[in-house]
A and B are shown apart, each in its own frame.
Chain A
């Protein structure tokens, strides 16, 4: 529960393989009402493991997405429990089509409420419904490949609902096009801190491989930041879902300090940003991006990683059903089980957005190898907070912690345990706790910056 500074030992909360429900720190399981979690490749492979703090409505990755929708509600304007449950009721586990249809139906309905409210002059009700609708559209297209025309269409509605809500805030959330290389732009939103005018501490927030900058308002920390007197800059770099949907030439790149430099240039061009208190916070696959950016972009004065991912390759291999320790040959196609929802997702999403959609799986793994933090441990000099979740599984936790141990700069670590009810990847089942940990730490770091 407490943020541990400079932990030397391996994370005490790291569970033993295959015994998540009985991992260290787990409260007595027993309860008769606990749903039996069937064996499922997605929820025991690591990263998205089933655990007591999760809904348990689905036995696949759908369950993680349920938590993601529910948790948007933590900021008063995201998922409503009843809407999530009644949508889930229409979904067949692992049936992506039923998922897409169910969430787009709910999104349509809630977007219509928002528009009716707006017409009637009920601004606050309209804003809340637009935000929920945005989240539901995001869920609807989640599993669709970028090649499916519905993916972009629903992404645009996800974005449009968020933008309509953005206008109804006071001050309004500002959509930003960050100038980037070769006349291209990256998408973002600037949220001004509540309270006094003048330069404020600012947190730049990015998602990972599967999200958009819009939903960072909820679980990414946007709403949490502004109510604490921080500005929030929600943005995406090349290869991320929204950036790629808007311009498919924007594919992932390992040298993330470059897009970060453009984003920092924009943020520091504003007179309401305090350059001495500028943080970057990143999630999931950005567990690589954030430390990489921090190693080179010295205008960042603090970074938050949830969770540390020093190498993409083993994570990609695990999530696609391979043993990361085994050498692989050129032809992996026959070993890729595309009927597995998450494997298909990886093959049609991450692989495509990394710019090698047509290449082989082996080439994809090779390319992932370039996303490595090895050798950068000593170059990260600003304070770093590492957050991870017990349900991410032993492999991910061990990889992250091993890198953390090698960091030579100021650092802190918090592995959210099962008993804390925030054990999911990206603390997705408890954004309130996540933001309490993040911002209480940032408060302290920035106090020192100003002292």
Chain B
């Protein structure tokens, strides 16, 4: 695109700017006491809600880009949501999801394939939101997850391009769920995007903001998948005890094994390559799994403990009190989601413990020490609205010795939200243009 060389380190570095300036210093501060870091309330955000709902709102609405939402449906739903009330949030989206799914089924019954596909894709997004703030152990959460998955799979089967539901073999007879999307119906070997979400995402939504749809329209294949600890991976196995693990390279080994068993991916063409989204998981995997030919982190999260502490309004580099239950203000939806309601704790395998014990465990999720082990080309994409998270990511990025590039999307560019959620078009343009260039080399 417009790479600017900034050789501060021994490795070549490029900064893609798109005319904006790459700086994360002046991120405005959120009005939500729970989300000062990562989920900033910036100019490119809807401002429809005061707390974390605003991020979720733009995350859903942003799926408009790939047909995963309709503006009027999002706003109409928002008009029925009481801010900071998870039950109201869930119920409002349920009404919309039911209605739009019914449109999809009616169009399908009438043989209107494209209309059916589009409505089912939207319904899938809306079912995701119904379950978003629910607990993994809540039976309703599972039902809502299943409905978002069913809608997505039915939409997938109506797509013009090949769409496969995959179960990637994993340890001890378990499997990891995913989707394989091909750029065309041929068996030609193509560069492939392997995309994985973060702590709160599902394989299905990776079709939208995770780059699935963006990949296939650019001639890349896409493998969207989940790793242990992610909601769908846990629900997809008979025993739900498939918790997060810090050694991401192990699940990634299985994913790469599966990918390389496919003719469409297995090839020694110079275009062979894989990468993932995911914040801490990807760089870690790239450090050990050398079959990965390029790595994209949105956004680089060098230490999960530091980041979560900062999101809770605590210093990331200082000891924290053991009785966080009584010292933290847990009244915001952001804080409840991060630590108080227990969902992420459960999926981390420390469901019964205290908040402090949960934060203890997060220290294992650290990239420090791996900076020299990552050798493939690396792209760090973040947003100005991520505040301190983007700053932390930059510190790690600066130490990388591999070929690397970065782009912190500014508020002016209107894509400053965490994971580029408020501008999927822009994020994918930046990421894939970089990737085009990497694989051309």
Contact = CB atoms under 8 A, between A and B. Distances in A.
Interface of A: 1-2, 27-34, 52-57, 67, 70-71, 73-74, 76-77, 80-87, 89-90, 106, 109, 112-113, 116-117, 120-122, 124-125, 128-129, 132, 194, 224, 227-228, 418-424, 427, 429-433, 435-436, 439-440, 443-444
Most chain A CB inside 10 Å of its own CB: which residue of B73, B76, B437:
B76
B34 to A, nearest CB: 16
A32 B115 CA distance: 34
12 contacts: A1-B99, A29-B80, A31-B81, A31-B88, A53-B72, A57-B47, A80-B423, A86-B414, A116-B1, A120-B436, A124-B432, A419-B99
Interface string B109-125: 01111110011001000
Interface string B46-88: 1111100100001001101111001111111111111100001
Given A76-B65, A82-B415, A436-B115, A33 B423 contact: no
Contact of A28 (B58, B80, B425): B80
Contacts, number: 238
B223 interface: no
A13 B428 CA distance: 40
Contacts of B67: 74, 76, 432
Given A28-B80, A421-B74, A429-B71, A122 B1 contact: yes
B422 to A, nearest CB: 3
Contacts of B72: 53-54, 67, 420-424, 427, 429-430, 433
Interface of B: 1-2, 18-20, 42-50, 53, 58, 61-62, 64-67, 70-83, 88, 95-96, 99, 102-103, 106-107, 110-115, 118-119, 122, 160, 213, 217-218, 411-417, 420, 422-426, 428-429, 432-433, 436-437
Given A83-B44, A421-B76, A436-B103, A106 B70 contact: no
A27 B71 contact: no
The 9 closest A-B pairs by CB, nearest first: A429-B72, A82-B422, A421-B72, A82-B414, A52-B79, A421-B76, A82-B423, A83-B414, A86-B414
A74 B414 contact: no
Given A82-B426, A132-B425, 11 more contacts: A33-B49, A81-B58, A113-B429, A120-B2, A120-B433, A122-B429, A418-B76, A430-B70, A431-B70, A432-B122, A436-B119
A112 B19 contact: yes
B75 A32 contact: no
B1 A34 contact: no
A165 B437 CA distance: 21
B415 A1 contact: no
Nearest to A227: B114
Contacts of A122: 1, 429, 432-433, 436
B118 A33 contact: no
A103 B45 CA distance: 17
B422 A422 contact: no
